[in-house]
Amino acid sequence: MFPYDTANWSVVDGNMFMLADTVWPGVFTAIAAAICVWVLVAGNRSEQAQYEKTKK
């Protein structure tokens, strides 16, 4: 089995994620949140523009 020969967590002696205990997980989360907000705002603008076209 990758990365260890046994299928349990007893052989794990350190972080499996190299950036754990650093600031980077928070940075990645903030970037993902900003992308989500941007997509919601852009989608709302697009939907509003399409709605305005149908009102005419």
Tens-place pLDDT, residues 23-55: 999 999 999 999 999 999 999 999 999 999 997
Is pLDDT above 80 for 2? Answer: no
Q: Examine residue 43 and state whether it is found in any structural domain, yes or no.
A: yes
Phi, psi of 18 (to 5 degrees): -65, -25
- Work out how many domains the chain is built from and give that number: 1
- Is 4 inside any structural domain? no
**Is the residue at 51 inside a domain?**
yes
Reported as a pLDDT band with limits 50, 70 and 90, residue 13 is confident
- Is 25 within 8 Å of 19 (Cβ atoms)? yes
Whole-angstrom distance, CA of residue 36 vs CA of residue 20: 23
Look up the domain containing 47 and give its range.
27-56
The answer to whether 12 touches 4, Cβ cutoff 8 Å, is yes
Give 3's pLDDT tier (boundaries 50, 70, 90).
Answer: low
| Residue 41, pLDDT score | 97
**Is it the case that residue 1 has pLDDT exceeding 70?**
no
Q: Which SS3 state, helix, strand or coil, does residue 10 take?
A: helix
| Helix, strand, coil percentages, rounded to 5, for the chain | 60, 0, 40
